[in-house]
Amino acid sequence: MQARGPLMIEHRLIERMLSVVKDVLAKIESIRKVDPVFVDIVVDFIRVYADRTHHGKEEDILFRELNNKPLSTEDRQIMKALIEEHVFGRQTTKALVEANTRYRNGDETTLTDITANLKTLTEFYPRHIEKEDKVFFPSSRTYFTDEEDQAILAEFWEFDRNMIHEKYKSLVKGFEGRQ
């Protein structure tokens, strides 16, 4: 498998989650109500899977290695845009969490903020994913030898291996901080 393999497999799961969100969005808009726990689960998926596990491999490993390569101006610009889009995803998720907290505390007017942020995520992520799958990953592969690509893949697996531990360590730390 090439290094981009796991990233593309993760893209498919992110797309499936986004299509679940789209279906739920339609229901939310018709009944004018949202289950805050559903929003919590979407946020957990985006933060832990899409952002930390997936963007983590892109930014901390793939983009780091690409930074040592003589990238074309175009590829460098795309990489910069992708990083900015990751930041945008984090900001949108943060706004979603804030709206969900207000909703949970009884402010029903924040329903429109919740739906707007969910909609933003379902609209912007597929375009981001397509840019990576069809443009950036194929062109970034040309900067690496087969050995370098396999070394990136090995580092991806190691990164993934640590994720479950990181997730639950931070959960325990969060509880300890509250005491």
Positions in the binding site for Fe ion (CB under 5 A): 58, 132
From 93, 105, 92, select the one nearest 42 (Cα to Cα).
93
Least distance to Fe ion, CB of residue 141, Å: 14
Cβ contact 97:43 at 8 Å: yes
Q: Compute the distance between CA of residue 38 and CA of residue 42 in angstroms, rounded to an integer.
A: 6
Q: Residue-wise over 37-56: b if at least 16 C-beta within 10 A, else e?
A: ebbeebbebbbbbbbbbbbb
Least distance to Fe ion, CB of residue 18, Å: 13
Q: Compute the distance between CA of residue 72 and CA of residue 84 in angstroms, rounded to an integer.
A: 19
Distances (CA, A) of 131 to 28, 75, 87, 100, 134: 30, 12, 16, 30, 6
Least distance to Fe ion, CB of residue 134, Å: 12
Nearer residue to Fe ion within complex by CB, 74 or 108:
74
Nearer residue to Fe ion within complex by CB, 34 or 42:
42
Query: Which two structure tokens, joined as six digits, stand for 45?
Result: 């998926």
Nearer residue to Fe ion within complex by CB, 52 or 104:
52
Least distance to Fe ion, CB of residue 32, Å: 33
Nearer residue to Fe ion within complex by CB, 58 or 65:
58
